[in-house]
Each structure stands twice: as C-alpha cells, then as structure tokens.
Structure 1
Amino acid sequence: MSNPARVMMVDDHPLFRKGLMQLFSLEPRLELVAEASSGAEAVKLADECDPDLILLDLNMRGMDGLDTLRTMRAAGVSARIVMLTVSDNNADVVACIRAGADGYLLKDMDPEDILEQVLAATHGKMAISQRLTEILASALRKPDQSGADTLSTLTSREYQILQLIADGLSNKLIARELDISDATVKVHVKHLLKKLGMRSRVEAAVWMVNQKRAESR
C-alpha cells in the first residue's frame, strides 16, 4: 500500500478543523500532519511540514486565504492547495484559481463529497464544486478570440497534454501515458498556459472542458 497523502488544514474556526479531523481520521489514504489557525502560521508550517495537500479557508482574520495562497506560491510552496470556504462569490473563485489554487470546494458540501474531492486532489485531479465550474468557464472565455483560434496556437503535443489535464490527470500520470519525462510535461504545461494566457492548470482544465461542451452542442 502506498503512503497516505500528507494534509495540512488552514482555518480559523477550531470547530470546523475538529470536524475535518474526524472525517479524515476514518480515511487511511489521508494523514493530517499540521493545522493552522491563521495565514501567517500556515506559511510557516507549509515550509516546515512539506505537506502534499493544503486545505485553505478564504475568509480568515488577519491574512486572508487569498493573500496566504499568493504568499505560499511566491515562496515556492509546491503542495497542491485547495480552497475550502463558504464563499461562492464569482470573483473569489476566479481570483483564487488565477493565484494558483488547485481547486475550490464549498463548506456546505456533503462530508462524503468533500472527502471524495480531497482524495481526487491528492491524485492531481481538479477539485472543484460542481456548481462552480460554470462560473469559472464563463469567466475564462475570451471575448476577442474563439476557442478554435486559441487551440490552433498549440502544438499537437501541447493539445494532447491539455486534453489529459482536462481529463484530470496529474503531470506524473500524463508522463506515464505519453511515455515522456515529468520534466518534459512541466515544460509543455508552462508553454501551453502561456499561449492560453492562463496562470494555472485548473484554469486550463475548466476552459478545455467548456470547449468540449461547446463543440458537442
């Protein structure tokens, strides 16, 4: 059996942290290695504990979740970071994804759904509440350029990788699927994000899923 994914929780509500802790204690594929009650504490612990996944609240006193996310990414934190919040505000969702979040979950989801999405995130998949995908897709549409025009700027390999990202595959799984190295995948992802004018693979995945939907209509 592979090692459990190391998870860090960041939330300024002790009761919510306790509830999540109980939820995760029943799942052998997850190991809670740290919990923080503030953004500043989270930045310090992320460096010390090196978790695989960070669950980050958005609305916190002091340094909020968005500032915490930006600070972590600027400091080179490579863990997957998934927002777990009450806010389904369009601007919040888009701002977090563009700042480097790997997902966005709402606290009012069923506990089983939160657990399922967290496990998906540990495998490199996009973790996002279903009702938020349309918000993101709409926000990411470029009014001055059609999807076909944008896709035509990609090489065949970049397009192939974009499709696999949209299918929820991590860099490691994409590398295995295409029989290339992880490093090569990272370079392709960096180039395709630049061509699409996007900052994160989640943005790209949501945008590509939306393109597929548009084509099938």
Structure 2
Amino acid sequence: MRVLVVDDHPLFREGLTIAIETMPDVEVVGEAGDGEAAVEAAGRLAPDIVVMDLHMPGTNGIDATRRIVAEHPGIAVLVLTMLDGDDSVFAAMRAGARGYLLKGAERQEIARSLRAVAAGEVVFSAAIASRVLAWFATGGRSALAPFPELTDREREILDLVARGLTNPAIARRLFLSDKTVRNHVSNVFAKLQVADRAEAVARARDAGLGTGPL
C-alpha cells in the first residue's frame, strides 16, 4: 500500500510518516506541505492513498481532495485533521474523501482506516460517525449550513470573499453600499475569529464555500 502524507506542520508530518512506515505492508512514497504540492505529488507518485490535512495555506485540503479525486479516481483520500465541525466533514465528503479521522487518532485506528479505504470502504472517527449516521437517519435535515453563527447575508458575502471578489465587487453584485459590505465582512471576521481575509478564505473553502459557478 503506497501512501502520500499531506500536512503543513513539518513535525506532525514527520511523526505521522514514521508511524505509518511501521505498519505492515505500507510504504510512504512522499510528503507534501500544502494542497498544491499534494495534487502535484499525487499525479507524479501515484499513491494508493493520500492522508490529507484540511487547513493548509494556499490550496486547502478540500480543494486538493476534489482535484485529486477528479484527476485520479483510483486514489483514495483519507482526511486526518483537527477540524471536527459538520461543515468540514460534509465538505470533505462532497469533495470525494473516503474517510475522515481526527488528529489524535491512535496508530491502530489509522492503520485500520488505511486498509479500509484501500478496500473501497468509507470510514469515520467514532465521534464523526455518530453525526453522519444521525444526518442520514433524518434524511439530511440535521446537517447545518456552514458557519451557523453567521446570518444568511454574512454567509453569502463570505462565499463571495472566498471566490476572490473584493468588497467593491461584492457591493456591486449584491446592490449594497461599500460601507455595508465592509461592516458585514468585519462581522464575519469577528464571528469566525479570523485575523484577515486570507484566513477567512481558508476557513470558508475548508467548509465548501467559494466553489461552483457564480
């Protein structure tokens, strides 16, 4: 089983690589520190599985997963992240991930999950699995919109920010004043506890916003 490890924290990535290398019949064929490098390495190294972090600079794990699965359908993506919100889980699965584990998972759980996704199965951490089962049990009605702390208008503006639109461009598109858009953007930053636009974009894209046609 050939594995590509993707995480932007070098020490965690190194430790994970060492742990995976000790598993029987598993070989780590490469590492990547961001989503763009992950997409390139997946095409070049042709791993069986990509172990993917989500919150990374530049191309995030959601977008990288979507591109890898689209370009290389035979590669399975197993998410391993600190993000445990419903928005991140469902965005990852919509992008094509076959598994979702939380950082802190035991080595045995990671090993079982690698074997499972390699066999075409879908796996979740126990805490994640209970929420996914509840979602299916209610026909999807329990799934929250991304960032439920935001108003519908704030979520709409965050989506446009994640698409790369400037405040004036958003104002023109939504027929709002520049000041109103600035106020909404400031409220979004405060509610999401992000420091700047780049961090807000990363959070939004991790949650599946900023994709698809305008």
| Match runs of 1:88-107 below 5 Å | 88-107=84-103
- Structure 1: where are the runs of 5+ without partners? 145-217
- The answer to whether the 8 Å contact 2:81/2:102 transfers is yes
Separation of aligned partners in 2, 1:81 and 1:60: 16
Give distance in 2, aligned partners of 1:134 and 1:8.
28
Q: Distance in 2 between matches of 1:73 and 1:122?
A: 14
Shift of 1:120: 2.4
Matches within 5 A, 1:168-183: none
Check whether the contact 2:76–2:98 (CA below 8 A) recurs between aligned residues: yes
- Identity over aligned pairs, percent: 35
Residues 1:33 and 2:29 aligned together? yes
Q: Which residue number corresponds to residue 83 of structure 2?
A: 87
The normalised TM-score by structure 2 is 0.61
Structure 1 residue 142 corresponds to structure 2 residue 139: yes
> Would you say the 8 A contact 2:81–2:103 is kept in 1?
yes
SS state at 1:55 partner: strand
Q: Deviations over 1:38-84 (max 9, x none)?
A: 11111111111111011000111111111111122232442011110
The CA deviation at 1:142 is 2.2
Q: 1:44 aligns with which of 40, 45, 49?
A: 40
For 1:121, the equivalent position in structure 2 comes to 117
TM-score by length of 1: 0.60
1:186 aligns with: none
Structure-2 residue corresponding to 1:70: 66
Letter in 2 for 1:67: D
Residues 43 and 72 of structure 2 are in contact (CA less than 8 Å); yes or no, is this contact kept in structure 1?
no
CA distance in 2, matches of 1:78, 1:122: 10
Q: Which has the larger radius of gyration?
A: 2
Runs of 4 or more above 6 Å deviation = none
Residue 102 of structure 1: how far off its partner (Å):
0.4
The superposition leaves residues 113-167 of structure 1 with CA deviations (integer Å, 9 ceiling, x where unpaired) of 22222222222222210111121123333269xxxxxxxxxxxxxxxxxxxxxxx
Cα distance in 2 between the residues matched to 1:25 and 1:70: 26
CA contact (8 A) 2:3 2:47 kept: yes
Residue 46 of structure 1 contacts residue 77 of structure 1 at CA under 8 Å; is this kept in 2?
A: no
Distance change >3 Å, CA 40–CA 143, structure 1 → 2: closer
Is 1:54 equivalent to 2:50 in the alignment?
A: yes
Aligned pairs, number: 140
- How far does residue 24 in structure 1 lie from its aligned partner after superposition? 1.7
Are the counterparts in 2 of residues 69 and 100 from structure 1 also a CA contact under 8 Å?
Answer: yes
Structure 2: gaps of 5 or more residues? 142-214
Matched position secondary structure for 1:92: helix
